[in-house]
Amino acid sequence: MNEWVVRSSLPSVAMEFIDDWRDRAELGKPFVFHRVVVADRSAAMISSNFERYQRTASVPFALPGSTNWWMPVRNNVVKFAGLDPDVGGGTTRTPVITYISRQNWGRRMLIPEHHEKLVNELHKLRATYGYEINVVEAEKMSREDQIRLAARTTVRPFFPILLNFLPY
């Protein structure tokens, strides 16, 4: 999913890794870049936001200031998936609640009885309040469908959730 999101949001981006930099160093020539973003997973992991969400992408959202810097990236990904970027973000009158079940995934699963209780309670919300409830297995969905659902989702009742970096 990472490559799909990066390529859809920043189609001209070039990703380079240790071997690329080693090759450059061996050339012994200077290189000038107009813009560089360096991601350091080990540095992100010591952040309190990483400890809270277990997602390196959550770290920038703990920085002071607005998180609006991320909206153009989010909007490009949503557009690439075929939706209007205004979808989600509280623009719907009916809350869209998505629970991504991992019951058939083989790890990080709920106790079966707890899973059933959660699904039943979510269905009660649909029956009582008319909320849209989605209980899905992301691994059975296309990337586009995962993005579309994440973009439309306004309430995320369960960790870990698909695409925590897509704010709403």
Q: What is the pLDDT of residues 6-16, one digit of tens each?
A: 888 888 888 88
pTM of the model: 0.65
Instruction: For residue 166, name the pLDDT band (cuts at 50, 70, 90).
Output: very low
| Residue 97 dihedral angles phi and psi, to the nearest 5° | -105, 125
Q: Are the beta carbons of 138 and 146 closer than 8 angstroms?
A: yes
| Spans of all domains in the chain | 2-152
Instruction: For residue 168, name the pLDDT band (cuts at 50, 70, 90).
Output: very low
Would the pLDDT of 138 be above 80?
Answer: yes
Q: What is the pLDDT of residue 47?
A: 77
The DSSP code for 103 is T
Nearest-angstrom CA–CA distance, 60 and 71: 13
Higher pLDDT, 119 or 9: 119
| Structure confidence by residue, pLDDT tens digits, 14-47 | 888 889 989 999 999 999 988 777 777 787 788 7
